[in-house]
Amino acid sequence: MSQVESYQSPLHAQDPEVAGWLQREDRRQSESLTLIASENHCSAAVREACGSRITDKYAEGYPNRRYYAGCEVADGIEELARSRALELFGAEAVNVQPHSGTTANLCALLALAGPGGKIVGMSLKTGGHLSHGHHKSHTGTVFDAAQYGVDDRGLIDLDEVRDVVKQHQPKVLIAGGSSYARKIDYTAFAEIAREHGAYLLADIAHPAGLIAAGVLPSPVGIADVVTMTTHKTLRGPRGGMILAKPDVIKPINSSVFPGGQGGPLVQQIAGKAVAFAEALSPAFKDYQKQVLDNAQYLGECLVEHGLDVVTGGTDNHIVLVDLRKAPMTGAEVEERALAAGLAVNKNAVPGDPRPPMVTSGLRVGTPAITTRGFGRDEVKTVADILGGLVRGEDPEKFRDTVKALCEAHPLP
Ligand SMILES: *Cc1c(COP(=O)(O)O)cnc(C)c1O
């Protein structure tokens, strides 16, 4: 395939073993469909920036205040990334250096709550993220964390959030999750935080792209701090970012460097700058509208196949399928889907009786297939395949259909 790197590249000549693995990944991505909600396919321009020579450069510090010589280019790149990020989200202050979403959260929480400080977030098993205070994450050991969940319908219950905050009296309340398919009322969260003198941190790692495009309501200007990843719906390079109100940016900057990181990954920051310019284009807004439409339509099609969808549908790019009444576990469907050429992930559903390695759910996302140009027709085919797999049909019988879809919709 044309997307697979040529055998003549310096990497192939020097290290065929690594090149072989990377080529295999090119093939894996182009010959299967990514329905993993946290993944996407960034542009060739983003990949070029991330593979550039600036990876060699140390640039500890911030633009015009570096601890290394020769940082003019790093300064220019970071300034560009910052100004584009501020324009994209309508924010007042930003730190583009976090290596990942988890690092962004850890540094922001340390800045706002301090070591041992109290935090409240959504529990992992109801759709939150590890870095929101789970006991196996540093955020659960460094901080005194309490968690809220979702109600029987799978929705955030603001009364429960208020009760947990009242009881725990945290310094930081976290809003956001990794498998929550509905809108989050950031204004209501901010009120609860304010009533109890807590900061509000909105983690938009998943819906950042939809929010940047104005397809979902933004927490910017409402939350004190907004953390995110740049590689999920935002479709940039792997990395993290923190937006902040001006009164908290200083401690956050110190918490990222020198607190939690050394030299920034300037090549990733260059990739972020490229992705932010892409996200400022009208085409990106159309893309995000299609991501949402595809997810909502996928949910409808799966319901028509007799599957239960948590909360009955979606407001974003995620459809969470509840398999508790289905003849198969999340792990079984994940494995069968892979055999058909679809990458989906098993995911716990609210009230899930099965362990995390098995689960009774499936998290399906539309960002990556929409990047490949999928619309409703193709989404319907994907839903038909998933429906068939859950009913127990042979994965092999879908392989040709998936292959044809992949060939008709190449990677960027
Ligand atoms: C993905 C995610 C993160 C973490 O991102 P990494 O870059 O994998 O560390 C943080 N918070 C939420 C809500 C996420 O979904």
pLDDT value at position 1?
42
Q: Percentage of residues in the chain with pLDDT exceeding 70?
A: 98
| 322 CB within 6 A, ligand 1 | no
Q: Among 36, 96, 100, 102, say which to mutate for ligand 1: greatest number of ligand atoms within 8 Å of CB.
A: 102
pLDDT value at position 4?
53
pLDDT value at position 8?
73
Q: Helices 282-304 and 376-391, interaxial angle, to 10°?
A: 30
Tokens of 314: 């979606």
User: What is the layout of strands, in order, in the sheet containing 118-122?
Assistant: 93-95, 240-244, 225-229, 199-203, 172-175, 118-122, 144-148
Atom of ligand 1 nearest to the CA of 204: 13
Q: Strand, coil or helix: what is 149?
A: coil
393 Cα to the center of ligand 1, angstroms = 34
Place of tokens 């065929």: 16
Annotated catalytic residues are: 58, 60, 203, 229, 232, 238
Atom of ligand 1 nearest to the CA of 103: 9
H or E segment at 166?
helix 158-168
Q: Among 129, 132, 231, 241, say which to mutate for ligand 1: greatest number of ligand atoms within 8 Å of CB.
A: 129
For β-strands 361-365 and 318-322, DSSP reports them as antiparallel
The conformational region for residue 129 under phi > 0 = left, psi -120 to 50 = alpha, else beta, is beta
Q: Which amino acid is at 302?
A: L
Query: What's the CATH code, domain 285-408?
Result: 3.90.1150.10
Q: Among 179, 228, 229, 238, say which to mutate for ligand 1: greatest number of ligand atoms within 8 Å of CB.
A: 229
Tens of pLDDT along the chain (412 residues) come to 445 555 578 999 999 999 999 999 999 999 999 999 999 999 999 999 999 999 999 999 999 999 999 999 999 999 999 999 999 999 999 999 999 999 999 999 999 999 999 999 999 989 999 999 999 999 999 999 999 999 989 999 999 999 999 999 999 999 999 999 999 999 999 999 999 999 999 999 999 999 999 999 999 999 999 999 999 999 999 999 999 999 999 999 999 999 999 999 999 999 999 999 999 999 999 999 999 999 999 999 999 999 999 999 999 999 999 999 999 999 999 999 999 999 999 999 988 999 999 999 999 999 999 999 999 999 999 999 999 999 999 999 999 999 999 999 999 9
CA-angle at 130, arms to 365 and 119, nearest 5°: 125
| 178 CB within 6 A, ligand 1 | yes
73 Cα to the center of ligand 1, angstroms = 29
The beta-strand segments (E) located in 27-159 are 33-34, 61-62, 65-66, 93-95, 118-122, 144-148
Number of helices (H), then strands (E), belonging to the chain: the values are: 16, 15
The conformational region for residue 235 under phi > 0 = left, psi -120 to 50 = alpha, else beta, is left
What's the pTM?
0.96
pLDDT value at position 158?
98
pLDDT value at position 308?
97
Query: What's the CATH code, domain 53-279?
Result: 3.40.640.10
Residue nearest ligand 1's atom 8 by CA:
101
Same fold, 53-279 and 285-408: no
Q: Which amino acid is at 361?
A: G
Residue nearest ligand 1's atom 1 by CA:
205
Residue nearest ligand 1's atom 2 by CA:
205
- Write down the domain spans for the chain: 53-279, 285-408
pLDDT value at position 2?
47
CA-angle at 220, arms to 309 and 82, nearest 5°: 115
CA-angle at 141, arms to 140 and 143, nearest 5°: 70
- C-alpha–C-alpha distance, residues 233 and 235, integer Å: 5
104 Cα to the center of ligand 1, angstroms = 9
Is the CB of residue 127 less than 8 Å from the CB of residue 151?
no
